[in-house]
């Protein structure tokens, strides 16, 4: 449950680049993609970084599922204006917030140089039950990697061997957090794009018995966010100000 106050609008007008880091294909599609569609429609470059291929998420052999889910994710990205999709090869279902994972995320942060990084709720309890292990590991590793990417002396090989100097991200956004702080108002077109983004995970959803149709619940989620933001529809985030939140620039930290 979110608190009952009206959430202020996210001060994102100056943002040029956003990096979204999640564990699996489809993790961005449960409403958060409406904010992505809103950003890309405004000209913001959004990159998706998936830490696994989601190969353990269906009742089929992983070697078949990985490419299938990657294809569905490419279609989902296209529906919300995302043209840069990166999928790492960490094992689905066995993510751990290791130094290796942190380095892999920090590398992409330094490559993309985002104004903000988005990840998903990594609490033990989330979404009405116990959060999935990969979600928890992905969020924790992302929190640390944002700092690692801005530290000269952590993962020095990224600068020395790969030519990737440190990068300061102004804000970390956590989607699906029970204690939100800010809202991104989204219009009907963005709502429709968000629904479409989840619908593109057709094979995956068909493998989940009893899963509701995206059109039956995504608009409801976004309408609840809108009610909390004093608008029709909205995506809510818990925002952590990492310095320069409301006035991020394209300069090195």
Q: What is the pLDDT of residues 67-100, one digit of tens each?
A: 999 999 999 999 999 999 999 999 999 999 999 9
142-181 per-position pLDDT tens digit? 999 999 999 999 999 999 999 999 999 999 999 999 999 9
219-247 per-position pLDDT tens digit? 999 999 999 999 999 999 999 999 978 65
Best CA proximity match to 176, nearest among 229, 118, 223: 118
Q: Mutual orientation of helices 188-199 and 214-229 as an angle, nearest 10°?
A: 140
Q: Which residues have CB under 8 Å from 97's CB, separation 6+?
A: 137, 140, 141, 144
- Looking at the predicted structure, is the pLDDT value of residue 2 above 60? no
Beta strand ranges found along the chain (DSSP E): 17-22, 45-52, 84-90, 116-120, 125-126, 129-130, 171-175, 182-185, 234-241
- Looking at the predicted structure, is the pLDDT value of residue 249 above 50? no
Supply the pLDDT for residue 4: 57
Q: How far apart (Å, rounded) are the C-alpha atoms in residues 198 and 33? A: 9
Burial class (CB in 10 A: 0-12, 13-18, 19+), 207: middle
Beta strands 125-126 and 116-120, pairing class: unpaired
Beta strands 17-22 and 84-90, pairing class: unpaired
Structure tokens at 102: 């942190």
């Amino acid at each position: 449950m979110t608190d009952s106050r009206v959430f202020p609008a996210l001060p994102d007008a100056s943002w040029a680049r956003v990096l979204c880091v999640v564990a699996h294909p489809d993790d961005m599609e449960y409403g958060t993609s409406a904010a992505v569609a809103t950003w890309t429609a405004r000209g913001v470059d959004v990159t998706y970084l998936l830490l696994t291929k989601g190969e353990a998420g269906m009742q089929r052999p992983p070697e078949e599922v990985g490419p299938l889910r990657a294809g569905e994710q490419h279609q989902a990205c296209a529906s919300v204006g995302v043209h840069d999709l990166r999928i790492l090869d960490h094992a689905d279902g066995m993510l751990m917030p290791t130094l290796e994972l942190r380095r892999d995320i920090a590398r992409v942060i330094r490559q993309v140089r985002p104004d903000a990084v988005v990840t998903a709720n990594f609490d033990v309890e989330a979404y009405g039950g116990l959060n999935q292990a990969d979600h928890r590991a992905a969020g924790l590793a992302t929190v640390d990697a944002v700092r690692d990417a801005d530290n000269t002396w952590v993962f020095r090989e990224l600068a020395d061997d790969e030519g990737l100097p440190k990068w300061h991200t102004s804000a970390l956004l956590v989607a699906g957090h029970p204690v939100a702080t800010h809202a991104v108002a989204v219009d009907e077109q963005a709502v429709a794009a968000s629904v479409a983004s989840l619908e593109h995970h057709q094979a995956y959803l068909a493998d989940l018995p009893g899963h509701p149709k995206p059109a039956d619940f995504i608009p409801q989620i976004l309408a609840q966010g809108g009610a909390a933001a004093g608008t029709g529809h909205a995506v809510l985030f818990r925002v952590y100000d990492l310095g320069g939140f409301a006035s991020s620039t394209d300069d090195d930290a």
